[in-house]
């Protein structure tokens, strides 16, 4: 259990260091101000209000804000003391980032790094030393050094190397290819073997599909018509407010694909329980295995494609190692959709959190 936890921590921390220590340094521009390191560790009224608004999402432990370390536009970095909700649990420390979701106009949060509860007093004191955390947050070169050290520490673990390589290829590779419906001919997709187009859901509004979800379905239909021997797997549960009849994304997607896009219903499998991208991946793998699928193409919105890809790639590798069942993520096909640049960075951080969940749930015990 300890080996599994340490592996998760090291792998996820390495990805986060890549994201902050390398990506921010390379992608920064004059229009996006960097982190402002707070002169005082005191938590401001605005930061406290943002944390309290988003804290309902934190169900795995009780989080007590300790210090405000920095802020950047509508994002706050807050050091928290966390205690898992079970008897005798030892507290540990975590960095919680709270940021404004411009699409839904709500406060979201994500957890970046934390010390293990098993650390001794000396290590714990070092972790919670605010000046050290401030320095780590501000010093890009230090982050680069930590990335190098982390890679060396994990170089003998095949799964860790696989995840980091995929992360670099998907998130940091300037030549990463996105196939866009209406711009790219579906014939160019690398489809082979017994194939499925996995179509990811999008939140319903008043129990009905939004235009973006319809666009995902239309992209999937265009690709599926090009490869008539393939199947479609639609994934998405009963989401959104004001949905008293419990309509599901997957159910409405199938209906739309049949009635509006001319896809035969027998070609469509549905997962109606997924509520997140991680749920999409986990639930659809059950369907894919039952159908004997060899390769998949992920169909979603362009801004969402990278996160979906890294989650499916990682889960596919774990399934291959643990169950001997091989499914290859052959490619992607997206409807074109834009989100603010700041939200693209949040998407990558969510990907890291969901990768951690995958490792926690499916990594074999050692």
The full DSSP string for 182-234 is: TTS-GGGS---SSEEEEEE----BTTB--HHHHHHHHHHHHHHHHSTT-EEEE
pLDDT greater than 50 at residue 139: no
The angle, 0 to 180 degrees and rounded to 10, between the axes of the packed helices 341-362 and 2-17 is 170
pLDDT of residue 103: 58
Task: Give the CA distances from residue 23 to residues 247, 281, 289, in Å, rounded to whole numbers and listed in that order.
Answer: 39, 26, 36
Specify burial of residue 24 (Cβ count, 10 A radius: 0-12, 13-18, 19+): middle
For residue 209, give Cα distances in angstroms to 47, 89, 204, 259, 313. Answer: 35, 44, 5, 14, 28
Tell me what percent of the chain is helix, strand and coil, each rounded to the nearest 5.
Answer: 50, 20, 30
Q: What distance in Å separates the CA atoms of residue 247 and residue 206, rounded to the nearest whole number? A: 9
**If pLDDT is split at 50, 70 and 90, which confidence band does 322 have?**
confident
- Would you state the structure tokens that stand for residue 127, as one six-digit string? 């972790």
Residue 172 backbone dihedrals phi, psi, to 5 degrees: -110, -5
Q: What is the pLDDT of residue 147?
A: 54
Instruction: In whole angstroms, give the CA distance from residue 311 to residue 355.
Output: 6
Query: What confidence category does residue 108 fall into, taking pLDDT thresholds of 50, 70 and 90?
Result: confident
Q: In the predicted model, is pLDDT for residue 219 greater than 80?
A: yes
Give the integer Cα–Cα distance in Å for 251 and 269: 10
Position 153 confidence tier, pLDDT thresholds 50, 70, 90:
low
How does 66-76 read in b/e, with b if 16+ C-beta sit within 10 Å?
A: bbbbbbbeebb
Q: 114: which 2 tokens?
A: 């934390």
Is 83's pLDDT higher than 60? yes
Q: Which residues neighbour 247 within 8 Å (Cβ) at sequence distance 6 or greater?
A: 204, 207, 208, 238
Q: Which of 45, 49, 33, 47 minimizes the C-alpha distance to 78?
A: 47
Q: What percent of the chain is modeled with pLDDT above 70?
A: 69
- CA 346 to chain CA centroid, nearest Å: 9
What integer pLDDT is reported at residue 24 of this predicted model?
37
Edge-to-edge, what's the strand order for the sheet holding 36-37? 36-37, 61-72, 75-84, 92-101, 106-114
Residue 264 has pLDDT above 50, yes or no: yes
The residue ranking higher by pLDDT, 262 or 348, is 262
pLDDT at 285 over 80: yes
The answer to whether 298 and 330 have CB atoms below 8 angstroms apart is: no
Instruction: Select from 136, 165, 150, 156 the least CA-distant residue to 10.
Output: 150
């Amino acid at each position: 259990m300890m080996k599994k936890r340490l592996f998760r921590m090291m792998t996820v921390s390495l990805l986060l260091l890549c994201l902050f220590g390398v990506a921010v340094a390379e992608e920064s521009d004059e229009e996006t101000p960097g982190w402002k390191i707070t002169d005082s560790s005191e938590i401001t009224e605005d930061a406290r209000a943002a944390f309290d608004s988003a804290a309902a999402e934190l169900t795995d432990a009780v989080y007590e804000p300790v210090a405000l370390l920095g802020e950047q536009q509508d994002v706050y970095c807050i050091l928290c003391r966390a205690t898992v909700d079970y008897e005798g649990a030892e507290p540990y420390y975590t960095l919680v980032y709270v940021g404004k979701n411009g699409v839904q106009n709500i406060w979201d949060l994500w957890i970046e790094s934390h010390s293990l509860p098993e650390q001794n007093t000396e290590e714990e004191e070092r972790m919670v030393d605010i000046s050290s955390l401030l320095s780590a947050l501000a010093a890009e070169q230090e982050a680069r050094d930590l990335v190098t050290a982390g890679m060396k520490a994990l170089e003998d673990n095949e799964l860790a190397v696989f995840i980091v390589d995929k992360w670099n290829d998907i998130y940091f590779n300037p030549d990463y290819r996105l196939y866009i419906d209406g711009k790219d001919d579906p014939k160019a997709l690398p489809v082979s073997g017994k194939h499925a187009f996995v179509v990811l859901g999008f939140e319903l509004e008043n129990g009905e599909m939004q235009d973006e979800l319809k666009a995902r379905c239309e992209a999937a239909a265009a690709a599926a018509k090009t490869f008539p021997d393939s199947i479609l797997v639609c994934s998405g549960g009963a989401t959104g407010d004001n949905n008293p009849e419990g309509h599901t994304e997957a159910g409405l997607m199938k209906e739309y694909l049949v009635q509006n896009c001319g896809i035969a219903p027998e070609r469509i499998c549905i997962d109606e329980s997924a509520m997140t991208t991680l749920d999409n991946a986990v639930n659809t793998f059950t369907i894919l295995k039952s159908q004997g699928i060899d390769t998949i193409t992920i169909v979603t919105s362009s801004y969402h494609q990278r996160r979906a890809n890294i989650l499916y790639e990682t889960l596919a590798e774990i399934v291959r190692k643990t169950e001997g069942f091989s499914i290859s993520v052959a490619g992607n096909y997206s409807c074109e959709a834009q989100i603010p640049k700041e939200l693209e960075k949040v998407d990558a951080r969510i990907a890291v959190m969901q990768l951690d969940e995958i490792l926690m749930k499916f990594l074999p015990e050692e």
